[in-house]
């Protein structure tokens, strides 16, 4: 797995040691277009926004149904400041673990796949991915295949599902 995924800290490999790939994911054996090809950054970002808005809506619904007395004197914004990231993380871990995609990814036709085996991502990899994404820097630093540091660390990639 380490040879295929590379070190998660090793950043882009543009040393010129091998032939330049024609499309993202070619070195990983993925197709150029269609199902199984690498998801574009804009689509990945859109899925993240959808998932974040879903978490915000769920927290808003729970807080509204619970009523102002249930907050224990804490303001709505105070609850949202810690609850939305927590709900987003739980959604991300559980959905990628069980379904290989979050709701936002499903809506936009992408999913999370292991690049080293034809198996599910698994709970531990899902948890590590969410922790890394939470800090935002790893997803923004991408290699030549368009994988963020969180994907390199877990041996995964975001691929198109349709």
Domain range list for the chain:
32-160
Digit-coded pLDDT (tens) for 102-153: 999 999 999 999 988 888 899 999 999 899 888 776 667 778 787 888 888 8
| Cα 100 to Cα 106: distance, rounded to the nearest angstrom | 9
**Quick check: 37 and 30 in contact, CB under 8 A?**
yes
52-78 average pLDDT score:
78
Task: With a cut of 70, say whether residue 54 has pLDDT above it.
Answer: yes
How high does pLDDT run on average in the chain? 81
Which among 125, 158, 162, 143 has a CA at the least distance from the CA of 48? Answer: 158
3-state DSSP call for residue 158? strand
| Cα 110 to Cα 45: distance, rounded to the nearest angstrom | 11
Q: Determine which helix (DSSP H) or strand (DSSP E) holds 113, and give its type and residue range.
A: strand 110-114
**Quick check: 102 and 129 in contact, CB under 8 A?**
no
- Higher pLDDT residue, 87 or 135? 87
pTM value is 0.77
Digit-coded pLDDT (tens) for 98-115: 999 999 999 999 999 998
3-state DSSP call for residue 75? coil
Which residues contact residue 62 at a Cβ distance below 8 angstroms, ignoring those fewer than 6 apart?
A: none
């Amino acid at each position: 797995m380490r040879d295929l995924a590379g070190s998660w800290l090793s950043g882009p490999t543009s040393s010129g040691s091998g032939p330049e790939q024609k499309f993202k994911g070619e070195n990983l054996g993925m197709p150029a277009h269609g199902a199984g090809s690498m998801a574009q950054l804009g689509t990945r970002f859109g899925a993240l926004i959808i998932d974040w808005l879903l978490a915000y809506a769920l927290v808003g619904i729970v807080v509204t149904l619970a009523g102002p007395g249930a907050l224990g004197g804490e303001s709505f914004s105070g609850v949202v400041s810690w609850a939305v990231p927590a709900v987003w993380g739980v959604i991300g871990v559980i959905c990628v673990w069980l379904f290989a995609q979050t709701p936002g990814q499903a809506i936009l036709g992408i999913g999370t796949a292991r690049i080293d085996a034809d198996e599910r991502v698994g709970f531990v990899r899902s948890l590590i991915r969410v922790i890394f994404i939470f800090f935002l820097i790893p997803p923004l630093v991408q290699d030549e295949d368009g994988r963020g540091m969180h994907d390199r660390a877990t041996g995964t990639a975001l691929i198109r599902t349709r």
